[in-house]
């Protein structure tokens, strides 16, 4: 899988091991991707992915577990190694 810009931000949001829905991950990405970088530059939030693209990344990546897979509001959790 080709590494996209938003992948590292998703990994940062999910590294605490708390289970989240796709919508709450998107909300957290809007905050973290739109803020100020560690170098003091302002980042644009335009690279926040759509829910379908985020869900595809979480489904393909082996680090994430799909909880409540048969429901409409599914949750995701990162497996901490």
Residue 71 Cα distances to 37, 47, 66, angstroms: 36, 28, 11
Task: List pLDDT tens digits, range 31-80.
Answer: 888 777 777 777 777 788 999 999 999 999 999 999 987 877 789 999 97
Look at residues 70, 67, 46 and name the one whose alpha carbon lies nearest to residue 78. Answer: 67
Higher pLDDT, residue 23 or 43: 23
Structure tokens at 9: 């931000």
Q: Is the dihedral of CA 32, 33, 39, 42 positive or negative?
A: negative
Beta-bridge partner residues of 64: 78
Instruction: Please state the pTM of the whole predicted model.
Output: 0.81
Query: How far apart (Å, rounded) are the C-alpha atoms in residues 18 and 36?
Result: 24
């Amino acid at each position: 899988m080709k590494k996209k810009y938003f992948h590292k931000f998703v990994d940062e949001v999910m590294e605490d091991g708390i289970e989240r829905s796709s919508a709450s991950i998107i909300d957290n990405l809007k905050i973290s991707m739109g803020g100020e970088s560690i170098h003091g530059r302002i980042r644009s939030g335009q690279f926040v992915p759509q829910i379908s693209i985020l869900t595809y990344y979480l489904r393909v990546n082996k680090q994430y577990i799909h909880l409540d897979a048969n429901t409409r509001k599914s949750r995701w959790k990162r497996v901490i190694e």
